[in-house]
């Protein structure tokens, strides 16, 4: 994973996972419309199909009173969770790790379910949990001692341009004074 | 600034210095000094041995590749807002 693209993708996934979790874990049941609009129902149908389940996750139900917002939230969610540079299976593992780390009851259960549905075995689940737990230890030890980053030199720099863009111009030294 | 003085590799006993060489091979990178976390873990070998083995078990390829696990580690570190 020397290219930047999968890391951009992972970062967007972390953000959306947290955004869904904060709404789903909050006491916001009262916001769920009793009779969602036709537009919201259409989005719900896409969500059910994507996750292969009969119900709609709470994070989406709670914003369904604004069908336009729901559609955009779902569009962003689908984009970051669908297969791309990273597989959907791996993305669910990342979302599970984020949810465990942030103590999200909704996210932990939801993404554990999705990992299993997408074929991750018990060993695979425990592997993700082990990495999550070990780095939850590692990071706190480092923070307590206020260690400074010293491993960034390992990572290669990706010289490719932004998607659809041009490669950066070569920088030349300005002429020196005679 | 770290709240402790990180000792140079040369200040550790010989058996620990051998472990630093193992760590270098694990990371496939020639550090001028072992990473700070390696030196912290080596401070108490009776802790660092267990923790290091658990870490290595967690990061060894299994159902997930090492690269996939490194990304899990990165997002956990990011969510924990750990600059290190």
Please state, in angstroms and rounded to a whole number, the distance separating the CA atoms of residues A85 and B49.
Answer: 36
Output the pLDDT for position A155.
Answer: 75
- pLDDT band, very low/low/confident/very high, at A178 (cuts 50, 70, 90): low
Asked if A46 contacts A57 with a C-beta cutoff of 8 angstroms, the reply is no
Asked if A47 contacts A127 with a C-beta cutoff of 8 angstroms, the reply is no
Q: Confirm or reject contact between A14 and chain B (CB < 8 A).
A: yes
Can you state the percent helix, strand and coil of chain A, rounding each to 5?
60, 0, 40
A40-61 pLDDT, tens digit per residue, is 999 999 999 999 999 999 999 9
Q: What rounded mean pLDDT belongs to chain A?
A: 93
Tell whether the model's pLDDT for residue A29 goes beyond 90: yes
Asked if A97 contacts B28 with a C-beta cutoff of 8 angstroms, the reply is no
Chain A residue numbers touching B38 (CB-CB < 8 A): none
Chain B residue numbers touching A99 (CB-CB < 8 A): none
A61-101 pLDDT, tens digit per residue, is 999 999 999 999 999 999 999 999 999 999 999 999 999 99
User: ∠A20-A26-A31 over CA atoms, to 5°?
Assistant: 90
CA distances from B44 to A24, A142, B13, B17, B38 (A): 42, 15, 12, 14, 11
Q: Are residues A145 and B71, on separate chains, in Cβ contact within 8 Å? A: no
Output the pLDDT for position A170.
Answer: 65
Output the pLDDT for position A4.
Answer: 92
Mean pLDDT of A122-150: 96
Its pTM stands at 0.90
User: Which residues make Cβ contacts (< 8 Å) with residue A105, sequence separation at least 6?
Assistant: A25
């Amino acid at each position: 994973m020397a290219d930047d693209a999968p890391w951009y993708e992972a970062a967007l996934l972390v953000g959306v996972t947290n955004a869904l979790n904060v709404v789903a874990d909050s006491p916001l049941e009262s916001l769920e419309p009793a009779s969602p609009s036709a537009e919201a129902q259409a989005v719900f149908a896409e969500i059910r199909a994507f996750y292969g389940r009969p119900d709609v996750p709470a994070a989406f139900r709670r914003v369904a009173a604004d069908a336009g917002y729901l559609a955009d939230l779902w569009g962003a969610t689908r984009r970051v969770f669908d297969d791309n540079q990273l597989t959907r299976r791996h993305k669910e593992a990342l979302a599970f790790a984020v949810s465990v780390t942030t103590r999200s009851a909704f996210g932990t259960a939801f993404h554990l379910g999705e990992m299993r549905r997408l074929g991750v075995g018990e060993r695979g689940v425990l592997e993700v949990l082990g990495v999550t737990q070990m780095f939850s230890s590692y990071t706190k030890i480092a923070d307590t001692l206020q260690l400074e980053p010293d491993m960034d030199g390992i990572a290669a720099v990706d010289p490719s341009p932004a998607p659809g863009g041009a490669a950066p111009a070569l920088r030349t030294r300005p002429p020196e004074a005679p | 600034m770290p709240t402790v003085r990180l000792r140079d590799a040369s200040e550790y006993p010989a058996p620990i210095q051998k472990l630093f060489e193992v760590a270098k091979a694990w990371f496939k990178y020639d550090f001028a000094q072992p990473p700070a976390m390696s030196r912290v873990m080596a401070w108490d070998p009776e802790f660092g041995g267990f923790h290091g083995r658990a870490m290595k078990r967690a990061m060894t390829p299994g159902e997930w590749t090492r690269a996939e696990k490194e990304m899990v580690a990165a997002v956990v570190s990011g969510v924990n807002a750990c600059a290190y």
